[in-house]
Amino acid sequence: MATLCRPEVAVPEYIVTKEDTLKLAERLHAGNPQLKLVLRLITSTGVQKRHIVQPLEQTLEHPGFEIRNKVFEREAKRRVPPVVRRALANAELTAQDIDAIIFVSCTGFMMPSMTAYLVNTMGFRHDTRQIPMAQLGCAAGAAAISRAHDFCAAHPGANVLIVACEFCSLCYQPTDDDVGSLLSDGLFGDAVGAAVVRGSGGTGVRLERNAAYLIPDTEEWISYAVRSTGFHFQLDKRVPGTMKPLAPVLRELVARHGWNVGSLDFYIIHAGGPRILNDLCRYLEVPPESFRYSRATLTEYGNIASAVVLDSLGRMFADKPMLEGAKGVIAGFGPGITAEMAVGSWVTDRSQRKDGARPTAVA
């Protein structure tokens, strides 16, 4: 069985607080007739602060799509490698032990993919498989975990590196002043995350089953309008209600594995917003505390897109030690409307020798 090891997540040094966001909305959109509604919605997200890759005033400028994408590439190349190194260390592996790299992002574009840069600069083998995923939005983090699981099942003993790089602030559009856009301006943050899925050994979540589901005829509910000015995020007001049709799908996946979704030991859920978490708690009949790791991510970092599940997982690893065999679920939601889901149980690597040496990695 493949094991998802402890993730690493890093956020940029520039901070935007909730108070900053509210003041900006009042200053920049004073004439918007729906401003009071927007301020109320931003406050209700529970987001206290977010981190961005550039100073706030620079973020508010729009130098053009080309320059913004150059910023994405520059910052990705600067910020991703340190996170990758720490994720490899967490898994007790080196770059040479990795057989595939899955790179996910929906906030910038690079070709060749960031995977090529990592292979050429960080010591990965030149036969490492490259698996870039660009268009699953917030669902991509959970999707990457499932695709890594699938890869390890197809290639026993293989190890897969997952990297999520989301600079949502580079998608800010100063001319977009509809309710959905303004709410997004107060919800999304920037982050880089990485984790290793080991084909054998390792301590973490043993991945046992995964599934995906797309709600029919909802592909326009979360989308990008790609224009000369870049990516314009579009959010339908019906999106917060999508947990009603998705909760039964999640329940069925867990039931097929012989478990009860209402009595699991851990839940790692994409923190798209407070209503998503609250509704899913209600439909799955679990207490709000069950989603505490996801809520902490939302409060401290905002919605960091595909990196959310990695950060929430990292918080779980950092919390009190899990009991051997503890059962849980990982789920991400994004454009489509798409749900990517996985179930697994906690496993502790018993192969660590008493003298402190780690076992030889399987590549």
User: Which residues participate in catalysis according to the annotation?
Assistant: 138
* Closest by Cα among 109, 16, 112 to 65: 109
C-alpha to C-alpha distance for 43 and 38, rounded to whole angstroms: 9
Q: Give the torsion through C-alpha atoms of 295, 296, 298, 299, to 10 deg.
A: 110
DSSP string over 131-143: EEE-S-GGGHHHH
C-alpha to C-alpha distance for 305 and 191, rounded to whole angstroms: 9
* Closest by Cα among 226, 316, 232, 221 to 269: 316
Q: Give the torsion through C-alpha atoms of 205, 166, 122, 87, to 10 deg.
A: -20
Residue 112, preceding bond cis, omega within 30 degrees?
yes
* Radius of gyration of the chain from its Cα atoms, rounded to whole angstroms: 20
DSSP string over 320-352: SPPPTT-EEEEEEEETTTEEEEEEEEEE--TT-
DSSP secondary-structure letter at 50?
Answer: E
Q: What share of the chain is helix, strand, coil (3-state, %, to 5)?
A: 40, 25, 35
C-alpha to C-alpha distance for 182 and 235, rounded to whole angstroms: 10
DSSP secondary-structure letter at 88?
Answer: H
DSSP string over 156-176: TT--EEEEEEEEGGGG--TT-
